[in-house]
Amino acid sequence: MTSSPTRHSRPVSRRGLLGMAALGAGAVALSACAGPATASSGASSATANTDGPDFSGVTPATTITFWSNHPGNSEDVTKQIIAKFKDATGITVNLVTAGSTYEDVAQKFQTAQAGGTLPDVVVFSDVWWFRYFMQDSIIPLTSVLKAADVDTSDYREGLFADYQYKGAQYAVPWARSTPLFYYNKKHWSAAGLPDRAPATWDEFAEWAPKLQAANNGTQYVYEHPALADYAGWTLQNILWGYGSGWSAKDSFDITCDSDASVKALQYVQDSVYKGKWAGVASTSGTDDMAAGAISATLGSTGSLVGVQKTAAGKFEVGVGFLPGGPVTKSPVCPTGGSGVGIPKKIPAANQLAAAKFIGFLTNPENTVAFSAATGYMPVRKSADVTSLLAKNPLIGTAIKQLEVTRTQDYARVFLPGADQEMAKSVAQIVTKEADVKSTMTALRSTLENIFNTQVKSHI
């Protein structure tokens, strides 16, 4: 690969990247997805106090509002937790459906900053919270969580640290996930396959003809997840397995057109056009798998319980770690999901009540209940998962996979609009059989332009 203008003589750390983002509005839009503008008049004043406001003498409000998109079909279990919270504290929480996606919530929250009614607790994904920090629209949580008697040392360190910046904590993990490999055990048995996920994608390519020959009544053996939502996220798995990525590890060196990346994405294209055993989900691969229309797909752990309910009585669902590649077998799994935080421009009484609710929402007992209802991972170290695993052992696979996860590529999560560009490029490859090398070279040019025009000058 020719010399890239994005190469650095000194690597930029994740924390260093976040630090440079506060230097000016040009880097404010650092995120995987398009959405509300995040520019502010200067560096966020939230950096002035890493602990957050002083809550001495503050009495918590008796009524607060929680905005959520109900990740993992979590509305019912969230309502149950809210009811228990009122019984325990007397505080009423009004749950508001603020949209169906994290982007919907972000847009609604952005609009509210301009004069609408703000929530007291808001949900946002691990790649969205920094937008809110840059808007100076959320508070550091250390002081308020302490005032609310929330034991922050009990959160899983890796998940809790995803929301930290310059020593401050801006959210608490809630609906956290990794992708899983989902498969139909009935189809696996009919094809004479071992009851497990493939160890590598090459192994799955060997299994695919056997699944086809089993005549399971499926259109495809496998569906690549819907491109608009998942291409940039899940395809990191295959790219990493081939020893590459959208960008080099912990770097802005764009590597989507490297020889290794081209081989990885050629595998993806060949699965559709050459092997003819794979398709591309139009909306949800896990829904198609649960309906028996395909034999396997990748999907969030947050889809697990829903898939099991849909498949109940028809076939048994199997899950496993994401497959490795010819170069790297582990770690090849990214994390994802959402946390909850507190807006800045609301009364201190509401902020304190919000912190009490966040602590209750994510306490050991409720994180297990939430996991049982959705498939998301328990976020507390002290959570007793015995009953959870006894009821649904597959959730244990998601928890174990936490130990072999990898930080997402900078190119996906820190270049504004990059996720959509990746999805468009992958769509060319898997729906129009475009040349992989030239498509990835064009994507590299696009990503480098985003970096050079919006990020580079702030490093």
pLDDT digits over 40-76, tens only?
A: 433 334 345 789 999 999 999 999 999 999 998 899 9
Cβ distance 349 to 60 under 8 Å? yes
Q: What is the mean pLDDT of residues 108-137?
A: 85
Please give the mean pLDDT across all residues of the chain. Answer: 87
Cα 61 from Cα 55, distance rounded (Å)? 13
Q: What is the mean pLDDT of residues 204-231?
A: 93
Residue 451: the pLDDT is 86
Q: Which of 5, 447, 440, 446 is nearest to 259 (CA)?
A: 440
Cα 320 from Cα 180, distance rounded (Å)? 6
Cβ distance 310 to 291 under 8 Å? yes
Cβ distance 446 to 246 under 8 Å? no
Q: Confidence class of residue 459 from pLDDT cuts 50, 70 and 90?
A: low
DSSP string over 303-347: GHHHHHHHHTTT--EEEEPPPB-SS--SS-EE-EEEEEE-BSSS-
Same topology, domains 45-177+336-383 and 179-334? Answer is yes
Residue 88: the pLDDT is 98
Q: What is the mean pLDDT of residues 372-391?
A: 90
Residue 243: the pLDDT is 98
- Give the H/E segment covering residue 174: strand 172-177
Cα 138 from Cα 152, distance rounded (Å)? 18
Cβ distance 450 to 412 under 8 Å? no
Cβ distance 38 to 109 under 8 Å? no
Cα 199 from Cα 204, distance rounded (Å)? 8
Q: What is the mean pLDDT of residues 307-325?
A: 97
* CATH 3.40.50.2000 given to domain 45-177+336-383: no
Residue 37, C-beta contacts closer than 8 angstroms, at least 6 positions apart: 28, 29, 110
Position with higher pLDDT, 311 vs 392: 311
Cα 337 from Cα 72, distance rounded (Å)? 10
Q: Which of 26, 9, 62 is nearest to 347 (CA)?
A: 62
Does the structure show a pLDDT above 50 at 3? Answer: no
Residue 309, C-beta contacts closer than 8 angstroms, at least 6 positions apart: none
pLDDT digits 0-9 by tens, 352-373: 999 999 999 999 999 999 998 8
* Helices vs strands, H then E, count in the chain: 19, 14
Q: Which residues pair with 173 in a beta bridge?
A: 339
Q: Confidence class of residue 27 from pLDDT cuts 50, 70 and 90?
A: very low
Cα 440 from Cα 395, distance rounded (Å)? 36
Query: Where exactly are the structural domains of the chain?
Result: 45-177+336-383, 179-334
Residue 103: the pLDDT is 86
Q: Which residues pair with 63 in a beta bridge?
A: 92
- 3-state helix, strand and coil shares in percent for the chain, rounded to the nearest 5: 45, 15, 40
Query: Which tokens is 106 given?
Result: 């972000």
252 Ramachandran zone, left/alpha/beta (phi>0; psi -120 to 50): alpha
Q: What is the mean pLDDT of residues 151-173?
A: 88
Cα 451 from Cα 418, distance rounded (Å)? 10
Query: Which tokens is 426 given?
Result: 């992958």
179-334: CATH topology: D-Maltodextrin-Binding Protein; domain 2 (3.40.190)
Q: What is the mean pLDDT of residues 165-189?
A: 93
Structure-derived torsion over alpha carbons of residues 28, 34, 37, 42, reported in degrees to the nearest 10: 0
Residue 285: the pLDDT is 94
Query: Which tokens is 266 given?
Result: 């050629």
Residue 391: the pLDDT is 86
Residue 127: the pLDDT is 67
